[in-house]
Each structure stands twice: as structure tokens, then as C-alpha cells.
Structure 1
Amino acid sequence: MSNRNKTVSRQALDTQQALEALSRHADRRKWSARQQIDFLFSCATIQELHAQVSADSPLALRYQHWVMGRNATDRHRTRQALLTLANKRTVLLERSEMVPALGVLSTYYLSRQRDLADWQPRTRNVYRQLESLVRHLFDGYGDVPGWVLEAWATGELTCGGVNLAELTIHLGNGRSLRSFSGQPRPITKKLEHAMRQAPAGCTYIEALRYAQLACRGALEWIGPVLQTAWSRTVGPDDDFWLDLVDLFATTPMVDPQQFGPVCDWIHHKRTVGIGDEPPQPGFSLKGRSMASLLAQTEQWHRSLGLLRRHAGHLLSATWNPLPVSDFTSGDDQRVVITQLRTYGQLVDEGNALRHCVASYLQSCQKGRCSIFSLRLDGARVITLEVQHNRTIVQAKGRYNRALADNERFWVTRWATEAQLTLSKHL
């Protein structure tokens, strides 16, 4: 007797549909770049796409950056550009970390200087391929600084309020950096020249700091400066802090490691107030000597050490921790890195290592950063500051000493496992 007309059970039907869906999913993973592009642009809405692929799939990520939010004309233009790129011997379309950059590239595709069809990759390195492609399309004169182009590969195309994609196009058209209207503060011709010389790998703000120090002959202070909180934003107080750099740079035999603690003390004095005194936003360096600044910083540091006796309920103050995993070196647990989550823990860390990490309470509460403690054989040895963008920007030992080689090894290993970026200035 034939089984052709036999009723299929609901369970069997569900299994069959699941297998068909799995088969379709597997087929899509084997699709060429051209097939993926055609499929993406055939979906009119994100809902239509999600009916066929999961929301966390690589195709959904590409749809978000390449298709979603574009009108019909832009979609057609973007599709043609991506199909042209698919004809090249490049893996740019296959790498998920390149997806956002290619989306931005297609957004500004009308501003290109050259045809995409004329570009040929000269290296197998995907990041160098992207840099070459951006320079080919948008750099008409070949003089866009490397740090501007590298921003495309890092995905950090906005820094200090500056749109690096628009800056790329602006400079690629032969215009000056100082004429770019999207900057947080005006720059001079001299400052522009120095910014163009900033090393590749710098962010916009780091290139600005590089130029500011180069123009005052103080480039040797770039490391200490970039480890401070004020250096990571551009604001009206820049000139004040640069005056402090000048004071340090012109004072003989001053420890560069004291620059950060003095900045912390001044920031606290201006924004919170020292002890019972109110904030002094108009605090000035006029008439102050290096000796007095160091002495007052040390006095403030000692006062932070007394907070555990007098702060009371403040010691239990907490904040939302950064979603970063703690670290243990292995079964021996010789090396442990843990996130500090209360004000009392900050105070204890500062007391143990004789630095001013307790002053970071407000920064932690406002979500600007989180503080981690590295212990070796149970003893505190290094305090780490991790910014909200998952970059380790400070690593200080007792009395603000720098990382030792063995400590750097463990910090680097933790950064790799926790998907953090280690600042090149540490």
C-alpha cells in the first residue's frame, strides 16, 4: 500500500521545515559576495530580511550598514558599488569588521575622485586594502594624513565631534585642514602643519595633542599628556592645561609621572573642591611654582588616605560596572585582575599604591571609565583605567610608576581575552 496520501504528523512537518530552513541557511553561508549582495538588496525591509535570516546573522549586519535607511536611488548606487568591489580580488566584503566602513564609504560614494573599477588591491592585508581603497576613491592629491585614513579601519570615524569621513573628503579635494568647519576649535597654519605630521594610528584628538606639543617643543611629554583625562576631549580649557605642560617642561628634574597626579588635583579643585572648600573653576597657575603644586598634590593625596575614617556612607557608593570580564591567570591564581565597584575599594586601592585613584569616583559614576586592580600573589601592584570605549588608557603602580615588563604581559593577555584595546602610549 502506498504512503503517498498518508497524513504527516505535526512533529514530522516541523522537523522537515527546520531541516529546509537549515539547508537554506547553509546555502547562504556558501553564497558568493555577489549572491549575498543581490539577496540583501532584494529585501525591501528589515522585517522581510529577518523572516529569512536570524537578526544576529552576518547578513543582518550587512543589511543594517549597507541597505537600511537608504532611499531607492541610494540603494541602487550602493548595490552597484558593492558589486563592482565584488569583482576585485579582495576579502573586504567577507570580513565582518569591514562592514561598517564599507557602509560609510558607499554613503559618500558620490564624492569619489576616481572610479572604483580602476582600483586594484596591492596587498593581502585587509586593513591596508581598505586604506588603499579609501585613498584611491577620495584622496585626489595623495596627501591625506595616514591617521585620517586609518580611522576607517578602526571604525572610529567620529572623534571629538569630528566626522573623519567628511574630513577625508575635504582634505582629498586639496583643501586645508584648518578650513574644515567640523572641528571643535580653530587651528592655525602652524598647528595644521604639525597635525599632518602626526603618526599613523593617532585619533583626531591625539593628532591635535601631538601638534600642540610639537609647536611648543614638548613632544617628549606626549606620553604623560595622553594618559590624563583632560587630553581625551577638546574644550575651552585646553590653553590652561597646555600652560601646565609648559610649566612641567621648563622645570628641571621634575618626574614626568607627577604630571597626571597634579592634573587630577587641579581638576578636583576646579570641579569638586578640596576638603570643605567650594569648587574653584577659575583656578589659575599664575604665581604658582612647581614645588607648591607638587606639595599640594601630595597633601591632597594624603587626605584621600584618611577618607575611610570619615567618609561614612560614601564608602558604599557604587556605579554601573563596565561589561568587562575579570581575569585569573589559571589554577594557581597568581595573577588576578578585578573591577573595583565601590568608592571604598577605590580608597583602599589608592592607599595601597599611594596614588589618587580615589578621585575617580565621579568619572566612574558618570560612566566615563572603570577602574581595575591587578594583584600578583595577592598583593596589589597595578591600577588600570578602562574607558567606556574599552580602551585601557592608564596603568599605574605604587607612586604612579609605569608598567613592568611582566605586568605588561598579563595586562596584554587580559586585554586580548576581554577584547580591550591597549593604548599605545602606555
Structure 2
Amino acid sequence: MANRNKPLSAEAYRWKQAGAALSRHVDWRNWPQSKQVEYMFSFGSPHALYEALGVDSALAQLYAACVANCTGPEQGSVMGALRALAAKRTGLLHRPELALNVAALASRYARRVREVADWKPRSNNVFRQLASLVRHLFDRYGNAPDWLIESWTRPTLAEDGVSLPDLTLHLGQGHSLRSFPRLPVPISKRLEHGMREAPAGCTFREALRYAQLAARNALDWWGVVMESRLGRAALVDDAFWLSVVDFFVAAPMVDPCHFGPVCDWIHQKRSVGIGPEPAQPGFTLRGRGMASVLAQAEQWHRGQARGHRQSGGAGPADSSWPGLPVNDFRAGPVRIEQLTTSAQLQDEGNAQRNCVATYLQSCRLGRCGIFSLTVDGTRGLTIEVTANRTVVQVRGKYNRWMTPQEHAWLIQWLSQARLVLSKHVGIDWQE
């Protein structure tokens, strides 16, 4: 009886009040957004909120992204941002996939140049609403590149060590891109102009490559470059790899499909070594001819396949992995199946005359997945899918590009498996 009359602690009292509110309003999702935000901040602890709402609810995920790790002063700014958004009755607060994006906006809300109240959404699409709101809040002069504003709608808000939200605020205040303090490579005035002119939908790396190629009058090579190691790997030793681009651009009548395989051969030569030769970090193409380079690259690719055949397809003890969570595809005689053992990778490389077996470690670590497209059991394409569910490489035998018919099959698979096809993947429309 004594415990029954014991006064409740402040935290226990808040828990009781929250539980009582939940019992009175079974479905808080029917409340106005402003009331939902108030309710979210009424809990005494994150644990109490997750207990009441469920960790998978939209409001709980919004709280986890925006509030859970904030200090007291930061929470005040975040609360102001969320209240302002709630007053506009947008769908942004109800989309868990945008919770981290809304959090990035709310955490920088104090640095806004305009008020949310003055913003008028012109679309019901929440991704367009977010891009419009970012420009309204942070782009004082309205000249931030479209690709940078649109980057706020993607799952990843940092690329190559660059915080895209911070870069947006930097440019939005009228500062130059080249003066941003955390760029992975130096940016000249000419490159900055090219990056500002890069098409909407670009990533930071794509915009940089676009500017670098524009400065060389070589924009026709943009797709080929982005499909190669220069588009997939981090920005390291940029000056050298741009010299490889210059080498190809200057060569007459060279098929662009050779660029990616040559880059793989150069990477092997510089960082690993070929055969008994040690790695040659200082290797360059200076003084070499295109025919010689293509021959050596082809010889290395063939040697890779021959070495795998001689080893009998034997891999290391840990020769299999779970693979990416991507569904295979079947449509009549067409199959697209993920390769999840070292033997399968080696067989694919032997049949397709490519170096896909060198992706063994990346596949094991979950950085990418390799898929094989077959028709009536005959291999047609080797496909690379990154961990963020983007198809970045599609090549046939001897590194040819896919045909329009193969492209049609691939599109069916993308739709079913919910994948994205990189705009830089090559298609041979003349087939």
C-alpha cells in the first residue's frame, strides 16, 4: 500500500502522460502535422517514444534522424524547423526514406536566408518539394547548380569526402566553389565554371569529370570515362588518370570501349604488379603508342583468364559469399543470375574474356555484385551492380557493349529488382 501512494518521479510522470495520450488517440497519424511534432517532443526519452510509437513508424524514424543525437540548443533549432515544415503540411515529415535528408535541413535551419513560411511548393512530389525548399532556404542568389540542389534528395549526402549540404550553404552565400575548404582535388576557375554547367542529376564526381572533360573539349568521352574506374573509384591521383584520358582523346580512330579495360590494366600495373613484375607506382603512358598499350592490356586480360583455367577454377577456402540482396531474373530463355563463388567468377571471366575474377574481394566485402546474363544457357553479358543498387557496368564478350535487345531484357530486370541503370552504361545502337 505504501508504494501505491508514493509520488511519481518526473520521468515516470511523463511516461504516464504519454501513455494516456496514446490511449486516448489510438492513431496519432490522423492528427495534424503540427500536433504530431509537438507529440514527438513530449516524450521524456527516446526509449519512451519508441515504446509508444514503434521504432519503425515514420514519426519515430524522423525523431531518430533529427533529434535523438542533438544537444539541447540544437534541439531547439531542429524543433523550430520541424514546426515550420509541419505548418506547410508537406509530405516530407511522413517519408522515412527522407528522414536523414530532412535532418540535414533541420540541423542547418539556423543558417537559412529565407523563412519556410514564404515558401510555396509547386509540386506534390516530395522529392521536388525538398529540392525546392533547399533552394528557397539556403540559395540566396538562386544560382547554385541544379545537380547540387538535387543531391539533397539522394540517400547519400556526402561524396568523395565532400558534405553536399555544407557545399550548398557555401555556394548559397555567394562564395566560390573553389574556395570550399574540404575539396578532394584543387578546383580552378575554369573547372568551377564547368561544374556549375554540369547537367542536373549529376553526382559530385560526375560534375567534376564533366568539367574536366569540358576543359579538354572531350565531352563525348564523358559516359565512357564515368563507366570506367575513373567514375567508380575515389578521386586519387587525378592528374595521372586525366593523362590517360588525354592519351585516348588524342588517338585517332580508337574504339572508346577499350578505355575501361586499359584503365584496369594500368591500375594493376601501378598498384599490384603484373606477373613477376612488382608494382610500378610511377608508371605512365608517356612515349607509348596506342597499339602497344591495347596489345599489352589485351595480353594481360587473356593471361588472367588463362591463369584461372590452369588453376582449375580453384579458389581460396572461403570461396563463396551471400551476394547482394538483388533478385535474379527469368523471362523465357533469358536468365540473369548473381555469381556468388570464386569458381563462378572465374568461369565468367574465362568465357567472356574479361577480368571479372579480379572483383572477388569487392564481392566478398559486399561492395558490388556480379551478375551473368545468359540466353538458352549461352553467356551474353557480365553485369556489375554496386551496393547502392546501381548497374554501373554491362559488357559482353571481349568487353563489347550490350545490344538494344540485351538492353530491353536488362530494363525488365531493373524494373523487377528495383535497380537503377547508370546513365553512363554503353549501348551499341548499331547492332
Whether TM-score is above 0.5 comes out as yes
Q: Does 1:108 align with 2:111?
A: no
CA contact under 8 A between 1:355 and 1:398: conserved in structure 2?
Answer: yes
Question: What is the 5 A alignment of 1:263-278?
Answer: 263-278=263-278
Q: Which residue is equivalent to 1:65?
A: 65
1:26 positional shift: 5.3
Q: Which residue is equivalent to 1:16?
A: none
1:366 positional shift: 4.5
The more displaced of 218-227 and 301-310 is: 301-310
Q: Which residue is equivalent to 1:394?
A: 393
Which amino acid counterpart does residue 264 of structure 1 have in structure 2?
D
The more displaced of 49-58 and 111-120 is: 49-58
Which amino acid counterpart does residue 304 of structure 2 have in structure 1?
L
Question: What is the 5 A alignment of 1:343-358?
Answer: 343-358=342-357
1:61 positional shift: 0.8
Q: Which residue is equivalent to 1:164?
A: 164
1:110 and 1:297 map into 2 onto residues whose CA distance is: 54
How many correspondences in the alignment?
A: 405
Q: Which residue is equivalent to 1:145?
A: 145
When normalised by structure 2's length, the TM-score is 0.88
CA contact under 8 A between 1:301 and 1:355: conserved in structure 2?
Answer: yes
Root-mean-square deviation over aligned CA pairs: 2.2
Which amino acid counterpart does residue 228 of structure 1 have in structure 2?
S
The more displaced of 51-60 and 376-385 is: 51-60
- Stretches of structure 1 that go unaligned for 5 or more consecutive residues are 1-19
2:80 and 2:42 map into 1 onto residues whose CA distance is: 13
The more displaced of 285-294 and 381-390 is: 381-390
1:150 positional shift: 0.5
Q: Does 1:131 align with 2:127?
A: no
SS in 1 for 2:140: coil
2:24 and 2:300 map into 1 onto residues whose CA distance is: 66
1:421 positional shift: 2.3
Indicate how the Cα distance of structure 1 residues 143 and 353 shifts in structure 2: closer, same or farther if over 3 A, else same: same
Question: What is the 5 A alignment of 1:27-426?
Answer: 27-311=27-311, 314-316=314-316, 318=319, 320-329=321-330, 332=332, 334-426=333-425
Indicate how the Cα distance of structure 1 residues 418 and 230 shifts in structure 2: closer, same or farther if over 3 A, else same: same
Indicate how the Cα distance of structure 1 residues 394 and 378 shifts in structure 2: closer, same or farther if over 3 A, else same: same
When normalised by structure 1's length, the TM-score is 0.89
1:99 positional shift: 2.0
2:400 and 2:124 map into 1 onto residues whose CA distance is: 41
1:252 positional shift: 1.0
Which amino acid counterpart does residue 387 of structure 2 have in structure 1?
H
Q: Deviations over 1:327-385 (max 9, x none)?
A: 2325x4x2222221223222211222222222323433454322111122222111111
CA contact under 8 A between 1:385 and 1:395: conserved in structure 2?
Answer: yes
Identity of matched residues, %? 51
1:145 positional shift: 0.3
SS in 1 for 2:315: helix
1:389 and 1:301 map into 2 onto residues whose CA distance is: 28
CA contact under 8 A between 1:355 and 1:399: conserved in structure 2?
Answer: yes
1:58 positional shift: 1.8
1:212 positional shift: 0.6
CA contact under 8 A between 1:324 and 1:418: conserved in structure 2?
Answer: no
1:397 and 1:44 map into 2 onto residues whose CA distance is: 59
Indicate how the Cα distance of structure 1 residues 23 and 355 shifts in structure 2: closer, same or farther if over 3 A, else same: farther
